[in-house]
Amino acid sequence: MVTNNGYSQNFQVAPIEGNFKFQLKIWIIGSVFLIILLSMLSLVLIFTETRTTNFFIKGIFTLFLIIIVSFGGMWAMIGLIHLFYSPRLYTVGAKGIIVKRLIGNVCIHYSEIQRTAIIDSMPIWWVLGATLLFEIGTGPVSTFVTRSEKLLLIETSKRKYYLSPLKPDEMLDTILRYLKENKKSNVKEV
């Protein structure tokens, strides 16, 4: 918890850990392997097909540019998406829960909440993206997470939200307190 001013409480986002770190390492190792493999194949092709040193140097320069532009561009895009759309802070206030991001904060209004729970873990394939369109058989899902364990699930009439606060128990207690104050008695805690 960061602050408590009587109207809202801020909750820190959990650090990147667990399956997120594992998948990031796999992506980096896979990219390095692909770069090395493509470089070796391209160098063999360039070396066997060129007859002069000038063509060989041009071929290596072209190969270098292709690798830097393609993989550098891919990692730059992944980094920018993560920077702009990953959660920075969760705020539980008078009107609802706000997921603060650099671009486009998300508000979950108390009037829409039907159920809240703490989930022990989620499948590994979920951690690749910040937003999922559908959870199989249940409808739209949004994930604003930095880990895959100890998540806060908030179900509304329209969608499910998964959040990864540093202290999910405290955040759940605060949400339930606000819901009781707003006389929202049909919310279930699991």
Flag whether pLDDT at 26 surpasses 80.
Answer: no
Predicted pLDDT of residue 77: 80
Structure confidence by residue, pLDDT tens digits, 37-57: 877 777 777 777 767 777 777
pLDDT band at 185 (very low <50, low <70, confident <90, very high): very low
The DSSP 8-state label assigned to residue 166 in this structure reads S
Structure confidence by residue, pLDDT tens digits, 106-130: 999 998 999 999 988 776 454 444 4
Pull the structure tokens for residue 16.
């990147």
Predicted pLDDT of residue 190: 53
Predicted pLDDT of residue 130: 45
Taking Cα atoms as reference points, which of 41, 38, 12, 40 lies closest to residue 170?
Answer: 12
The torsion region of residue 45 among left (phi > 0), alpha (psi -120 to 50) and beta comes to: alpha
Q: Which residue has the higher pLDDT, 16 or 110?
A: 110
Are 21 and 173 within 8 A, CB to CB?
no
Q: State the pTM of this model.
A: 0.69
